[in-house]
Amino acid sequence: MSMLSRRQFVQGGSLVAAAGLLAGCGSASSGTGSSGPAADGEYTLVSEGKLTCISNLYFPPFEFMDDKTGEPRGFDIDMSKSLAEHLGLEVNWLPSQAFDSLVPTIKAGGTADVAIAGMTITDARKAEVDMSDPYIDSNQSLVTKVGSEDTMDTLDDASKKIAVQAGTTGADWAKENFPKAEIVPLDDIISAMNGVVTGSYAALVTDLPVSSYQIKNSFSSLQIIEEIPTGEQYGIAVSKDNPGLTKAINAALAEMEEDGSLDAIETEWFGAAL
Ligand code: ARG
């Protein structure tokens, strides 16, 4: 099994990569189609010749709906296309679903092969599904409206509402760190951002690359008041019944690292090659 180099998101649009790859993994396995038990080094797919993906498509710049085309776009979408190409497959994105339904859907099987959703690798998730090797590092952020005087201290108060996306690591962090505040779980983080702008919530907690990108591109009236170094890493969720697919994905990710595909996608979305 190979390890990807660690990638660190730094606020301000640049990504910095640490040292390179560790060698030691073979080439990607080939698919076996949708039927039959997976033999060693092979995997099953819900739809033959396709890598069927699910996500919550309200998490720019990792995944979001393009208003003009009605198609999903983002870092993870481009990454999934390259991943599928490296596996000799087509990519097929299913409609957006609630973030906290992704792991249960993959675990249940039959709907999608993978969840690609800026999903942090956690022990709790690894108990339910397999997670691929990490493909990017991330942290959390605390966001308020420009002009707000709130701080970490003043926000931990029964009168304060703090918006999060349900089932996320940001939601967990907020519950732990603001025990007195009212933590409001929402379906998506864009609603949380709109709610902070309109004053429904005093603050929100979400992944730093997402808040940075959104403030730069669409929400100039929001500000990051704390960068929270949680040291998270995103991985791809795969059913535990399909270990050959996780293995093939890890091999493909290592190839994408080596052949520059990941760098190109990072440049596209974060303005910097690693
Ligand atoms: N990284 C966080 C987590 O894994 C948030 C992910 C939210 N992703 C999304 N596509 N809405 O919990």
Residue 140 Cβ < 6 Å to ligand 1? no
The CB of 119 under 6 Å from ligand 1? The reply is: yes
- The Cα–Cα gap between 82 and 249 comes to 11
pLDDT digits (tens, 9 = 90+) for 152-173: 999 999 999 999 999 999 999 9
Is 169 touching ligand 1 by the criterion CB < 6 Å? Answer: yes
User: What pTM does this model have?
Assistant: 0.86
Q: Token pair for residue 44?
A: 């099953």
Q: Is the CB of residue 55 below 6 angstroms from any atom belonging to ligand 1?
A: yes
Point out the ligand 1 atom lying closest to the alpha carbon of residue 125.
4
In CATH, the number for domain 8-137+233-270 is 3.40.190.10
Q: Which of 63, 94, 99, 131 to probe ligand 1 with, by most ligand atoms within 8 A of CB? A: 99
Q: Which of 75, 120, 140, 191 to mutate to test the pocket of ligand 1 (most atoms within 8 A of CB)?
A: 120
Q: Where are the CATH 3.40.190.10 domain residues in the chain?
A: 8-137+233-270, 139-231
pLDDT per residue, tens digit, the chain (274 aa), is 333 443 444 333 333 333 233 333 333 344 444 444 445 569 999 999 999 999 999 999 999 999 999 999 999 999 999 999 999 999 999 999 999 999 999 999 999 999 999 999 999 999 999 999 999 999 999 999 999 999 999 999 999 999 999 999 999 999 999 999 999 999 999 999 999 999 999 999 999 999 999 999 999 999 999 999 999 999 999 999 999 999 999 999 999 999 999 999 999 998 875 4
Give the whole-angstrom CA distance, residue 189 versus residue 192. Answer: 5
| Superfamily for domain range 139-231 | Periplasmic binding protein-like II (3.40.190.10)
**Residues 128, 65 contacting (CB under 8 angstroms):** no
| Residue 138 near residue 9, CB atoms below 8 Å | yes
DSSP letters for the chain: ---PPPEEEETTTEEEE-S-------PPP-B--SSSPPPTT-B--SSTTEEEEE--SEETTTEEE-TTT-SEESHHHHHHHHHHHHHT-EEEEPPP--GGGHHHHHHH-SS-SEE-SSPBP-HHHHHHSEE----EEEEEEEEEETT----HHHHSSTT-EEEEETTSHHHHHHHHH-TTSEEEEES-HHHHHHHHHHTS-SEEEEEHHHHHHHHHHT-TTEEEEEEEEEEEEE--EE-TT-HHHHHHHHHHHHHHHHTTHHHHHHHHHHS---
**Owner of token pair 């990490």:** 134
Give the atom of ligand 1 at the shortest distance from the alpha carbon of 76. 10
Q: What is the 3-state secondary structure (H, E, C) of 77-113?
A: HHHHHHHHHHHCCEEEECCCCCHHHHHHHHHHCCCCC
